[in-house]
Chain A
């Protein structure tokens, strides 16, 4: 286990107010990484099998009763999603972020009730104008076009520990494509209605390409290169700057 000093160089784990807690969880769980970001905030990394037992232990025995948030970080270059469960101890006035790395898997594509990615002929044939996404955005779809099933990566649910966890998990399924089997209303839409693309918070979801193929350009809009435009309007007789 590597123990790094605080990233801003202010405190080490042993010096932080989390030192006792860290010793306790190190004794019971196998941590692959642990460090203090500052006196009142630390991060640990555990395997998937240890994650829920560790979270439960911290809630029930170590006073980390406040679930601050659950989120994910897409580390696409390593092929993983790093889930972060941020817990807070009101007594210590300190928090610990529990990190779990799970395989990223293929990009799942939301399947409509008709069984198609978006139910359209174009999608089935992969010929939707401007849609170059079957291989770029949805490798799982490319091999099984027309009959695809979502290939969600999975994580164990913690909805039984905190009521609001189910909401976070529903959001994570929609935004990152992480499935939490057994979590209430996990298949309900969260913020997106009728979404038919890869989970949008994944790094390889191209927002610009999505906008260009989803929304038609509005007429009457022009885009100017700032350097050229300023030169033309403010100092037309000057020579063109080298960067232009």
Chain B
């Protein structure tokens, strides 16, 4: 048995003193302890570690460390022909590989001056929205799990699997689809596919209604997420924040609406925003955007041309040279602005491909700022609420 000396007063430091420099973090003072959260931790999506300095159970310092999943994609792409990169790019991002496929293909098409068929645009939009749906479902389970509601995670992962079944039927792959390729898409929808998509959408809608009751009306979830990780509106641009993290602060920006790509200008939807900019509001915005994805998938299936070409004839791709030039293309994924900067030098290989993932700032600069002042038990919930995904940081 250990005896507890109850006469010792905890040495809690006023965070304001740290901010204004009256106190400084000195590990030898025994007022602070350094702990590492990750690289493997249930609250960390992907592999990433947080170097946390604690005073009591309050975080007073945070540094993020990435590199545990660095696979050198950008370098690999410089050594492969344009067509060889298409099965590679999707592997940058597990939750939404399709955005990588689309942006890479669209950048190559723009540089090569290739127009894709109308039906291919609709099929691309369909897969992007299905990817958003799958990613939101995965995120919802993670957010609920980080606040102790593991059951919701089991439900959402199950429903994500239904969406992955649809991807498997469409492309042959569950996680990495390699479906969107330069020139169009790889295959048309199988017979009866739209009906099977609708069946899954109905299941997801039912699930979302249940999550609304069980998660958003749960007093524990509310108590822990309201007021957590508030992103002040004035730092949105300073930190390059995009997506639901910005929209939850009332910033009505959505690339699908502001700068429509593919067929988004033909779809009817509005930008979802919030006001409080805390973890609860971000969760609410994502829940609403999940419903929006369900609606958009239905619209796409209803408005899509019933027949037509799905791929443009390309030159011999093994000897395909792209004219010199450079471009940047972006799309709205579930986490924010996803972008590809591609430089061609007139040869058969890209000179440079730079992937801009939204987590680049959300998981590093922003998380380092928001974690300070947070209770250690809420760090995992905070990180998930920013929907960070480390592999798109280190590419």
Enumerate chain A interface residues (CB-CB to B < 8 A): 7-9, 37-38, 40-41, 43, 65-69, 71, 73-74, 84, 86, 90, 93, 95, 97, 162-164, 166-168, 185, 189-193, 200-201, 203, 205, 207
Q: Please give, as numbers and ranges, the residues of chain B lying within 8 Å of A90 by CB-CB distance.
A: 253, 258
Q: Please give, as numbers and ranges, the residues of chain A lying within 8 Å of B324 by CB-CB distance.
A: 7
User: How close is A66's CB to chain B, nearest CB, in angstroms?
Assistant: 6
Residue of A68, A168, A185 touching B339 (CB-CB under 8 A): A68
* Distance of A76 Cα from B258 Cα, bound (Å): 38
* Distance of A7 Cα from B259 Cα, bound (Å): 20
Residue of A8, A163, A190 touching B110 (CB-CB under 8 A): A8
Enumerate chain B interface residues (CB-CB to A < 8 A): 63, 66-67, 70, 72, 74-76, 78-79, 110-111, 113, 235, 237-240, 253, 258-259, 323-328, 330, 337, 339, 341, 343, 351-352, 354, 356, 360-361, 364-366, 369, 393-394
Residue of A40, A41, A95, A166 touching B365 (CB-CB under 8 A): A166
Q: Is the pair B364, A37 in contact by a Cβ cutoff of 8 Å?
A: no
CB contact under 8 A between A163 and B67, given known A37-B327, A69-B341, A207-B75: no
Q: Is the pair A69, B356 in contact by a Cβ cutoff of 8 Å?
A: yes
User: How close is A122's CB to chain B, nearest CB, in angstroms?
Assistant: 25
Q: Please give, as numbers and ranges, the residues of chain A lying within 8 Å of B113 by CB-CB distance.
A: 8-9
Q: Is the pair B352, A73 in contact by a Cβ cutoff of 8 Å?
A: yes
**Extra A-B contacts (4), CB below 8 Å, given A86-B328, A164-B240:** A69-B339, A69-B341, A86-B341, A162-B237
* Distance of A146 Cα from B240 Cα, bound (Å): 42
Q: Is the pair A71, B354 in contact by a Cβ cutoff of 8 Å?
A: yes
Residue of A67, A84, A168, A190 touching B341 (CB-CB under 8 A): A84
Q: Is the pair B67, A71 in contact by a Cβ cutoff of 8 Å?
A: no
* Distance of A71 Cα from B394 Cα, bound (Å): 13
Q: Is the pair A164, B237 in contact by a Cβ cutoff of 8 Å?
A: no
Q: Is the pair B356, A8 in contact by a Cβ cutoff of 8 Å?
A: no
Q: Is the pair B352, A71 in contact by a Cβ cutoff of 8 Å?
A: yes
CB contact under 8 A between A38 and B239, given known A93-B258, A163-B369, A167-B365: no
